[in-house]
């Protein structure tokens, strides 16, 4: 059996598969179960957040042939929560199950060099860059790429595998420290803000878009996402959605997709990265949208009609990192003040079930809802104070 022979839509009560056991997989499980599906999760970690709530947890590596076979025998359709699952594993699963997104789409975004070239081929602008395979590539890079950032071509996320470089000498040193693996050298640009577009595209080519979120990163990790339900200036958001759709169509993408953009000071857009999955900046949809990004992922996986992306209210999403478990003055470990968080009207707390809090580790998020953006920001400031999270409306 393969996708062509699977009778879609897959009805509730049947099994859906998930590769990856992190928080995105956990939230997918909750969404699928709310629609009546059973979920099998493939992940090697016996304490994985998704495995803890799944109907079946297959404890195996992402390239374990026996585990993959067990997953595909159980599930008619399978998705993934992260882009670094081996593309060969997705290809193997496709022999028996529908895999959404497909292996070839995921493979492109697993490599920053391929990703940059692909974004350009779809007609979207990217920051000036150069592929780096050898020290000679850095020596030959245009002067306009300095100062810049050197990024490992594969397996980088949340600021990992990246180094800011002001000069060629710093770039050469960073390249050596990375182990001389393939990298992308990217120019710094005059940024005004960052935004992301989360969309879903079905097998029939139909696509829906969530309102774009304005994002703030700290140390390479998303800290705050903001959506103004009453925003009037939608020109930039519309341009971003158009570019994201062109990328999804060229990928022949089926699933939930996020494209991150830089907004430059002159108002122009530059595509930064593609995430072939639900995205941290789309977590606001869990409470502020008619259908969340995780419900959309379930719908696409099962071949159901796409849900409404209408925004119900303004919202500020605050990431909760493991730092919140440490007193900011003494560094002593402590439990965050959850009662103070939940006392704030409009605060919706989502924790990921991770056993150990570590600095820089994503442990949860809070969606703070408001009738207006000002209301949401005022309430978010109270939540941030309770958790000792920096926040500036």
Is 113 among the domain residues? no
114 annotated as a binding-site residue: no
Is 106 among the domain residues? no
Q: Examine the domain organization and report whether 330 and 212 are in the same domain.
A: yes
Where b means 16+ CB within 10 Å and e means fewer, 192-203 reads eebbbbbbbbbe
Is 278 among the domain residues? yes
Q: Examine the domain organization and report whether 79 and 181 are in the same domain.
A: no
194 annotated as a binding-site residue: yes
Q: Examine the domain organization and report whether 143 and 74 are in the same domain.
A: no
Q: Examine the domain organization and report whether 167 and 200 are in the same domain.
A: no
350 annotated as a binding-site residue: no
180 annotated as a binding-site residue: no
337 annotated as a binding-site residue: no
| CA dihedral sign of residues 341, 286, 282, 294 | positive
335 annotated as a binding-site residue: no
How many structural domains is the chain composed of? 3
Are 182 and 156 a contacting pair, CB within 8 Å?
Answer: no
Pick the last residue of a domain from 119, 153, 187. 187
248 annotated as a binding-site residue: no
265 annotated as a binding-site residue: no
Q: Examine the domain organization and report whether 356 and 369 are in the same domain.
A: yes
331 annotated as a binding-site residue: no
Q: Examine the domain organization and report whether 88 and 29 are in the same domain.
A: yes
81 annotated as a binding-site residue: no
The answer to whether the peptide bond before residue 147 is cis (omega within 30 degrees of 0) is yes
The CATH number for 13's domain is: 3.40.50.20
Is 392 among the domain residues? no
185 annotated as a binding-site residue: no
Half-sphere exposure of 237 (CA within 13 A, CB side): 15
Is 320 among the domain residues? yes
Closest to 225 (Cα-Cα) out of 177, 266, 165, 281: 281
* Through-space distance between the first and last CA atoms of the chain, rounded to whole angstroms: 52
381 annotated as a binding-site residue: no
160 annotated as a binding-site residue: yes
186 annotated as a binding-site residue: yes
188 annotated as a binding-site residue: yes
Q: Examine the domain organization and report whether 157 and 240 are in the same domain.
A: no
The predicted pLDDT at position 156 comes to 63
Q: Examine the domain organization and report whether 145 and 222 are in the same domain.
A: no
Angle, helices 23-34 vs 293-302, to 10°: value is 70
Q: Examine the domain organization and report whether 320 and 292 are in the same domain.
A: yes
Structure confidence by residue, pLDDT tens digits, 74-92: 999 999 998 889 999 999 9
The answer to whether the peptide bond before residue 171 is cis (omega within 30 degrees of 0) is no
The predicted pLDDT at position 4 comes to 63
Phi and psi at residue 147, in whole multiples of 5°? -70, 160
151 annotated as a binding-site residue: yes
360 annotated as a binding-site residue: no
Q: Examine the domain organization and report whether 332 and 216 are in the same domain.
A: yes
Tell me the residue range of the domain where 236 lies: 191-387
Q: Which positions of the chain have pLDDT values less than 70?
A: 1-2, 4, 156-159, 232-233
Q: Examine the domain organization and report whether 318 and 228 are in the same domain.
A: yes
Q: Examine the domain organization and report whether 199 and 327 are in the same domain.
A: yes
The predicted pLDDT at position 159 comes to 57
Structure confidence by residue, pLDDT tens digits, 178-200: 999 999 999 999 999 999 999 99
* Spatial separation of the C-alpha atoms in residues 186 and 183, rounded to whole Å: 10
């Amino acid at each position: 059996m393969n996708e062509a022979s699977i009778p879609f839509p897959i009805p509730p009560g049947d099994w859906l598969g998930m590769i990856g056991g992190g928080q995105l997989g956990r939230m997918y499980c909750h969404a699928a179960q709310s629609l009546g599906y059973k979920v099998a999760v493939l992940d090697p970690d016996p304490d994985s957040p998704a495995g803890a709530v799944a109907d079946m947890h297959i404890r195996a590596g992402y390239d374990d042939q026996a585990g993959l076979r067990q997953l595909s025998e159980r599930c008619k359709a399978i998705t993934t929560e992260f882009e670094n699952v081996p593309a060969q594993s997705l290809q193997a699963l496709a022999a028996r199950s529908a895999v959404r997104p497909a292996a070839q789409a995921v493979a492109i975004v697993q490599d920053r060099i391929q990703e940059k070239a692909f974004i350009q081929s779809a007609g979207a602008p990217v920051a000036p860059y150069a592929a780096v395979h050898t020290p000679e590539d850095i020596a030959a890079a245009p002067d306009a790429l300095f100062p810049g950032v050197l990024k490992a071509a594969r397996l980088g996320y949340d600021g990992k595998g990246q180094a800011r470089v002001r000069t060629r000498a710093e770039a050469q040193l960073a390249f050596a420290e990375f182990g001389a693996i393939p990298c992308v050298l990217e120019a710094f640009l005059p940024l005004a803000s960052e935004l992301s577009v989360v969309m879903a595209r079905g097998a029939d080519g139909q696509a829906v878009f969530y309102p774009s979120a304005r994002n703030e990163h700290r140390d390479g990790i998303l800290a705050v996402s903001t959506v103004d339900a009453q925003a009037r200036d939608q020109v930039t958001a519309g341009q971003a959605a158009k570019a994201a759709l062109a990328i999804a169509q060229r990928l022949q993408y089926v699933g939930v997709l996020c494209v991150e953009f830089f907004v430059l000071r002159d108002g122009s857009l530059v595509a930064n990265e593609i995430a072939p999955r639900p995205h941290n900046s789309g977590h606001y949809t869990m409470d502020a949208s008619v259908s969340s990004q995780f419900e959309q992922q379930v719908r696409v996986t099962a071949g159901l009609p796409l849900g409404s992306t209408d925004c119900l209210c303004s919202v500020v999403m605050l990431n909760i990192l493991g730092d919140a478990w440490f007193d900011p003055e003494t560094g002593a470990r402590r439990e965050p003040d959850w009662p103070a968080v939940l006392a704030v009207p409009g605060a919706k707390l989502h924790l990921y079930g991770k056993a150990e809090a570590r600095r820089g580790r994503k442990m949860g998020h809070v969606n703070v809802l408001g009738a207006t953006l000002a209301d949401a920001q005022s309430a978010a400031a109270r939540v941030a104070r309770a958790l000792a999270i920096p926040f500036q409306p």
